[in-house]
Amino acid sequence: MYQDFSSNTDDAIQRIINENNRTTSSLLHELGNHLSLIKGTLQYIEIKYPQSREYKYWSQLFELIQDMENMMTDASLLNKNSTLNINKANLLQIIKGIVDNYMPQANNEQKLLSIKASSDCESALSSYPCDSDKIKHAMSNLIKNALEATSPGDFIEIMLDLTSKDTDTMLSIQIRNNGLPIPEDDIESIFLPFVTRKKGGSGIGLPLVKRIIEGHHGSIQVSSCEALTTFTVLLPLPKN
């Protein structure tokens, strides 16, 4: 007689994940408290001794604190994004809405931001099961990164189409830009937490995007050369 250990194993893994999330949340909370004390002390010194502002590196202390606060916020998001709230939503309209939100920034920076969707996407994505808030976060992050990598006169294109992978039909979302290429040495580590090449970056954004996409049973890849950088997201279409 054989005993099925699969459910017990799944429960044990979930307990470990939950305990790790609780430990991480507690650690981030304690670090936040200490960081607030440091920030408050510096502000008190600045008020009590105004001449401290003349110290060469005084402003950099507050910049470092802000960077650490941003990193902790992103780390908290990464820690909390293991659970998805799945509901049916119009995924195409969600992505178009995100592009519209970034359009004023792109226009102000003289960058050409556009979105193109194949006719097949309209009906296929009208009622797509997903966590719309997390999808918004992932797509916003990718578009924001593209804007940061481009200069006036450059373009950012979001291309949506249906494609085949093995025997399945997938949604392909490509975020392309002709800005600064990603160095070849950085490609392999770009989705690792706390790895960043941006000044003041936390290195959480892309790992969080990857976790969200994989949580939806999808995948994300990146390719980059002098002419074009492309992030390709593949998401499965629900089977009828």
Q: Give the pair of three-digit tokens for residue 29.
A: 């909370």
Confirm whether pTM is higher than 0.75: no
pLDDT score of 2: 47
32 and 102 inside one domain: no
Q: What is the pLDDT of residue 1?
A: 45
Q: What pLDDT score does 197 carry?
A: 62
Residue 190 lies in a domain: yes
CA dihedral 51, 55, 57, 58 (to 10 degrees): -10
pLDDT tens, 135-185?
998 999 899 999 999 999 999 999 999 988 777 889 999 999 999 898 888
pLDDT number for residue 22: 72
Q: Are residues 175 and 226 in the same domain?
A: yes
Asked whether residue 35 is domain-assigned, the answer is: yes
**Residues of the chain scoring pLDDT < 70:** 1-14, 16-18, 20-21, 74, 77-82, 194-203, 240
pLDDT score for 171: 93
Domain count, the chain: 2
Question: In this structure, is residue 171 part of a structural domain?
Answer: yes
Q: Are residues 101 and 209 in the same domain?
A: yes
Which residue, 63, 80, 97, sits at the end of a domain? 80
Paired tokens of 71: 């990193």
Mark which of 31, 60, 80 sits at the end of a domain: 80
User: Could you tell me the residue range of the domain that residue 178 belongs to?
Assistant: 87-236
Q: What is the pLDDT of residue 67?
A: 74
Total count of residues recorded for the chain: 240
CA dihedral 17, 22, 24, 25 (to 10 degrees): 140
The neighbouring-strand residues paired with 223 are 230
* CA–CA gap between residue 71 and residue 195 (Å, rounded): 11
Structure token pair of residue 106: 């792109």
The answer to whether residues 66 and 121 belong to one domain is: no
The residue among 183, 176, 175, 160 whose CA lies nearest residue 235 is 160
The answer to whether residues 138 and 192 belong to one domain is yes
Do 146 and 205 lie in one domain? The reply is yes
Cα(75)–Cα(198) distance, rounded to whole angstroms? 17
CATH number for the domain spanning 98: value is: 3.30.565.10
